Structure 1
Amino acid sequence: MGTKQEDVNILLRLYEMRREETMRQARDWFTTDFNPQSTQDIYDILVSEHSPKYRMVSTYWDMACAFVNHGAIDEQLFNDVNSEHVAVYAKLQPFMAEFRAATGTPWYLKHLEELVTRMPDSEERIATLRRFMKRRLEAREQREGKKIASNTQAD
């Protein structure tokens, strides 16, 4: 493992990658529009126009977590400055075992899973993020429903 300064430099580089416009759009789609309710929903995304966005986000976080798991970045520092990887895992975890079995890819997102589940408070974090994502989705649906209703009334 490198020095703290080297770890910080790697983390800043990972942050810069997240700010790249295509990645930013993919992350926005993943957090806002992608709300899988089944493994089939993931399959459907992988054969849709959204496949590149899904793959960009999921593999980015698996790669970043691999750096940590192999000692290239200090684990505590990584987890202290990031939470999005936990949210990605929280969204995909209910379907990962079935997806891996069906696709014959037991290694799929293993680095992400290993890092997140190693966190001492992982279950609490995952549950908190799932509640947050659910509330955000409900608020969005309510807001969009009101918009649709108000647009209809204006006709």
Structure 2
Amino acid sequence: MALKEYPDHHDAELVLKLYELRREDVMRDSRTQLIAKFLPTSFEDVIAVTKGDHPLNAAFRQCTSFWEMTYAMARHGVMHADFMMESNGEGLLIFSRIEPWLAEYRAAMNPIAFRNAEWVAKETEMGRLIAERFRKRMQAHLDAAKAATA
């Protein structure tokens, strides 16, 4: 699979379309809810949000499927990956909240879950930078949660 070497006007059009989609009311509400309220401290917290009766379940499904679709475009060369990541890193914030339990999640739920987010986080320059920033935030959250229960 050949990745795009340079971004072009088609990449710009796709990035602008992704921005428009993120502004849609349901998507905006889902993003707001998930970013503010989905702060897992255990694998059980991650699995809980996948249950249909969890208050964040719809937001979780909306956001994770949107970001996986977006990152798939980069992974498959539809869009220049680093160009796309410059304005679409939010999905890695959500990924960073699942990543500590990713192997368990895949074993329990779906063996290919979050593979596109994982790819951009590891295989693109911008993704690595963004993911590292979010991983530090997540680690601080986990450290604070551990200290609060100690």
Structure 2-normalised TM-score? 0.79
Other-structure match for 1:152 = none
Aligned AA (2:123): R
Q: Which structure has the larger Rg over C-alpha atoms?
A: 1
Other-structure match for 2:56 = 50
Identity of aligned residues (%): 24
Instruction: Give 1:49 deviation, angstroms.
Output: 2.9
CA distance in 1, matches of 2:78, 2:137: 31
CA distance in 1, matches of 2:7, 2:32: 32
Match of 2:78 among 59, 69, 72: 72
Question: RCO (CA 8 Å, sep 6+): is it higher in 1 or 2?
Answer: 2
RMSD (CA atoms): 2.3
More helix by share: 1
1:21 equivalent in alignment to 2:39? no
Other-structure match for 1:32 = 36
CA distance 1:78–1:106, change in 2 (3 Å): same
- Unpaired runs of 5+ in structure 1? 139-155
Alignment of structure 1 residues 1-155 onto 2, 5 Å: 4-47=8-51, 48-103=54-109, 105-120=110-125, 125-132=130-137, 134=140
Instruction: Give 1:128 deviation, angstroms.
Output: 2.3
CA distance 1:39–1:22, change in 2 (3 Å): same
Question: In the TM superposition, what whole-angstrom CA distance separates every residue of 1:88-125 from its partner, at most 9, and x where no partner exists?
Answer: 2211111111011112x211111111111113475654
CA distance 1:101–1:123, change in 2 (3 Å): same
CA distance in 1, matches of 2:115, 2:46: 17
Instruction: Give 1:35 deviation, angstroms.
Output: 0.3
CA distance 1:78–1:122, change in 2 (3 Å): closer
Instruction: Give 1:3 deviation, angstroms.
Output: 6.4
CA distance in 2, matches of 1:16, 1:78: 14
Question: In the TM superposition, what whole-angstrom CA distance separates every residue of 1:62-96 from its partner, at most 9, and x where no partner exists?
Answer: 11000111111111211222221221221111111
CA distance in 2, matches of 1:113, 1:83: 12
